[in-house]
A and B are shown apart, each in its own frame.
Chain A
Amino acid sequence: MMALRPDLAVIAANVAPGARVLDVGCGDGALMAALRDARGVDARGLELEPHNVAECVARGLSVIQGDADADLAYYPDAAVDYAILSQTLQTTKRPDLVLDELLRVGRKAFVSFPNFAHWRVRLSLLWHGKMPVTRLLPIAWYETPNIHHVTVSDFRDLVALKGLKVEGAWFLSGDHAISAAAANWRAEHAVFLLSR
C-alpha cells in the first residue's frame, strides 16, 4: 500500500476486506485506491472539487461530484458498510446533520478531523491571541475551508448527545499514537469509528 496520510492509514487498516465503502470528501482518491488495491474494497467517493473528481475518474475510481451537506441525501439507507468522512467534518455547514447522514448511508462511519485543542493551537491563542497557522492547519482564518473548529472533547460530547456508539478511536500526533486520556491536548488528529 502506498504511503497514506496517517489518519487515512488508520482507516485503511480498520476497514474489513471486501467491504462496501463511501468516501465522502475523497480528495484525489488516495484512500479509495488503497482500499481497492490492498483490501478488495468496493469504494465509491463524493468530492466537491472538479479537478479531484477528474483525477479519481482517471484512476478508475467511481466518484460523484457533490458536497457532503447536500448530496448524501441521494444515497439509499445502509448503502455501504462504512461511510468515511476524513478531514471534512470541520468544513461542512452542519456537521451534526452530516453525521446523521453518514450513519444512515453507512452501517458504520469513520470520522477523522484535526483537533483544534492541540497544545500548539492553545499556545498560539494564549500567547499571540491569534487563530493558529500550524503544519496541520496551514491556512489563515480568512481563507480556511474549516468553518467549524472542533476538538476531541467537543466531538465526544456530540457523539454522547446523539447516543452513538464509539466502536474505535485513534489519536495521532504525526504518525504516533496518543492515549485517549491525553488526546484532547496532545492529538493533532482524531479518528473515530461510530455506529448507531
Chain B
Amino acid sequence: MASAPILTASTVLELAAPLPLDGGQSLAGVRISYETYGTLAADKSNAVLICHALTGDQHVASPHPKTGKPGWWVRMVGPGKPIDTDRFFVICANVLGSCMGSTGPASAAADGQPYAMRFPVITIRDMVRGHVALLDALGIERLHAVVGGSMGGMQALSLAANWPERAGTVLVIASTARHSAQNIAFHEVGRQAIMADPQWRGGDYHAHGKGPEAGLAVARMAAHITYLSEEGMHEKFGRRLQNRDAKTFGFDADFQVESYLRHQGLSFTDRFDANSYLYITRAMDYFDLAEEHGGRLADAFAGSSARFCLVSFDTDWLYPTSESRNIAHALNAAGAPVSFVELSAPFGHDSFLLDVPALDRVIDGFLRQ
C-alpha cells in the first residue's frame, strides 16, 4: 500500500451558463474549484463524488494550502484505503458559497468588488447544482457513488433525491434530512457572534484589512462544542487547568478546555471567510428534504434506483441516530435498497473524520458492490 495518495489534478471549472438558484436568482460566472484522485475509467463508471462538510474543502486527501495540514479525509481516501483511489476516480469540489476557490461571498462580483452580502442566499440543492454542472463538464453521467458526512451527507441525499439518475450508490454519514430547531439555534448563535463584531461592517470588511475575527472565532467555538461528545470532552480535558497550578481568579483561559476552544476559534479565522460561514450555515438551516418534496420524505426518493447506506454514531448529538434512522425508514417506505447502522465511537459528531475502524469496513464493503 502506498503511503500517500497522489493528487491527480487540482482544477477550477468556470461554468459557461449562469447557475439557477432555489432563491429565484441565478448566478453568472460561477467557478467550481475541485480536486481529483485516481484515473477515470474509459467507460466513466468508477467516479466517486465526495461532498465536504460546513468548513471542509476540496483538499480531501491533499495538504491544505493555507494550514499545510493533511487532507481532511486522508484516513479514508487513497490507494488501498476504503475509498480506494487505485480503483475509483475520486472527485471533491469546494461547495458554492465557500471560500476555497469556488464562488462565494468573498468572490468578486461583476463590479470587481467582493459580493459580500450581495451574494444570493443559497441552499444545499444549489451546492449540488454546482456539483452536477461539474459532473456534466467531466462527462460523467452516473457516479459509482456519492459520499458525504455531515453537510456532505445532505448534499449526497439532495443529489439522490433531485438527480436520481446521477448516482448508483449513496453513502451518508452522520447526517440528517433536515436541520432541527436545535441545529438552527446553534448556527444562529454563530451568525449573531459574527454580525455583532463591529469589524463585520455589514459584511463589507474586505476593504478594511481586518475581518470579524473575534466573532468568527466565537462562532467556531460554539460549533466546535457540538462536534464533540460530552464524554469525549470530559476525557480529553476534564477540569484540568492550562499550564498553571491554581485558578487565577480572572478570565484568562484557566481551563484546558477554554484554551483548546480559543485555539480552535482563532486558527479557524486564518482559513475561513466569515461571510461564507454565514451563507453556508444558512443553507444548512434551510435544508429540509421532505419539505422540498411535498412534506413526505419517502416521496423525495420515489424516483431513485440507487442503493443507500446510512451510518450514525452513538455519541453524535448534533445529528443523532434518530435522524439517520428516519431517513432509512423513508427509503424503506420508498422501496429503495437501504442499509443503516449506528456505530459506537467516542468522538461525537466528529467520529466520521476520526479513527473508527468499523466505519472503514462499512465504507469499503458498501463501495465494493
Q: Are A57 and B365 in contact (CB under 8 A)?
A: yes
Checking A64, A71, A76, A79 against B339 with a beta-carbon cut-off of 8 angstroms, the contacting residue is A64
Q: B185: shortest Cβ distance to chain A, in Å?
A: 28
Answer whether residue A181 sits at the interface, using C-beta atoms and an 8 A cutoff.
Answer: no
* Given A50-B344, A50-B358, A51-B358, CB of A57 within 8 Å of CB of B339: yes
A58 engages B361 (CB within 8 Å): yes
Task: Say whether A64 contacts B358, CB under 8 Å.
Answer: no
**Shortest beta-carbon distance, B3 to chain A, in Å?**
25
Closest residue of A by beta carbon distance from B171: A57
What is the total number of residues of chain A having a CB less than 8 Å from a CB of chain B? 21
Contacts of B325 in A (CB 8 A): 65-66
Q: How many Å from the CB of B13 to the closest CB on chain A?
A: 33
1/0 per residue, CB under 8 A from A, across B103-116: the answer is 00000000000000
| Residues from chain B with Cβ under 8 Å of A74 in the complex | 329, 332-333
A75 sits at the interface (CB 8 A): yes
Residues of A within 8 A of B365 (CB): 54, 57-60
Instruction: Convert A29-60 into 0s and 1s, putting 1 for each residue whose CB lies closer than 8 angstroms to a CB of B.
Output: 00000000000000010000011011011111
Q: Within 8 Å of chain A (Cβ to Cβ): is B341?
A: yes
A61 within 8 A of B: yes
B368, A60: Cβ atoms closer than 8 Å: yes
A61 neighbours in B (Cβ, 8 Å):
339
Contact (Cβ within 8 A) A54 B343: yes
- Does A62 count as interface, using CB distance less than 8 angstroms? yes
Known A64-B332, A66-B325: A56·B342 in contact at CB below 8 Å: no
Asked if A89 is at the interface (CB within 8 A of a chain B CB), the reply is no
Residue of A nearest to B337 (CB): A62
B335's nearest neighbour on chain A, judged by CB, is A79
| Complex alpha-carbon distance, A54 and B364, angstroms | 10
Majority SS at the chain A contact face? mixed
A61–B339 alpha-carbon span in the complex (Å): 8
Question: A49 to nearest B CB, angstroms?
Answer: 10
**How close is B282's CB to chain A, nearest CB, in angstroms?**
32
User: A76 vs B361: C-alpha distance in the bound complex, in angstroms?
Assistant: 30
Q: Are A63 and B344 in contact (CB under 8 A)?
A: no
Distance of B238 from chain A, by nearest CB (Å): 29
How distant is B198 from chain A, measured CB to nearest CB, in Å? 49
CA–CA, A76 to B368, complex, Å? 29
Which residues of A sit under 8 angstroms from B227, Cβ to Cβ? none
Pair A58/B343 contact, Cβ less than 8 Å: no
Whether a CB of chain A sits under 8 angstroms from the CB of B182 is no
Known: A74-B329, A76-B333. Contact between A53 and B341, CB under 8 A?
Answer: yes
Q: Is B309 an interface residue (CB 8 A)?
A: yes
Considering the complex, which residues of chain B in the window 345-369 have a beta carbon less than 8 Å from any beta carbon of chain A? Answer: 358, 361-362, 364-366, 368-369
A194 CB to closest chain B CB, in angstroms?
22
A54 contacts B341, C-beta separation under 8 Å: yes
Selected contact of B369 from candidates A50, A60, A71, A79, CB within 8 Å: A60
Asked if residues B339 and A63 are in contact (CB atoms below 8 Å), the reply is yes
Given A51-B358, A58-B364, A60-B369, verify A65-B341 contact (CB < 8 Å): yes
In the complex with contacts A50-B358, A74-B329, A62-B338 CB distance below 8 A? yes
Supposing A62-B338, A65-B341, A75-B332 touch, asked if A54 and B361 sit within 8 A by C-beta, the answer is: yes
* Chain B contacts for A53, CB-based, 8 A: 339-341
Distance between Cα atoms of A62 and B335 in the complex (Å): 11
Q: CA A76 – CA B337 in complex, angstroms?
A: 14
Within 8 Å by CB of B366, from A58, A65, A71, A75, lies: A58
Q: Closest CB-CB distance, B313 to chain A, in whole Å?
A: 11
- Please tell me which one of the listed residues A57, A64, A75 contacts residue B362 in the complex, with CB atoms under 8 A apart: A57
Give the residues in chain A near B329, CB-CB below 8 Å: 71, 74
Task: Give A35 to B340 CA distance when docked, in angstroms.
Answer: 21
Task: Output the least CB separation between A74 and chain B (Å).
Answer: 4
B residues at A contact (CB < 8 Å):
307, 309, 325, 328-329, 332-333, 335, 337-344, 358, 361-362, 364-366, 368-369
Interface residues of A (CB under 8 A from B): 44, 50-51, 53-54, 56-66, 71, 74-76, 79
Could you list 24 examples of A-B contacts with CB < 8 Å?
A50-B344, A53-B341, A54-B343, A54-B358, A54-B362, A56-B339, A57-B309, A57-B339, A57-B366, A58-B368, A59-B365, A60-B369, A61-B339, A62-B339, A64-B332, A65-B325, A65-B341, A66-B340, A71-B329, A74-B332, A74-B333, A75-B332, A76-B332, A76-B333
8 closest pairs, A vs B, by CB? Answer: A58-B365, A60-B369, A74-B329, A62-B337, A53-B341, A64-B340, A57-B339, A65-B341
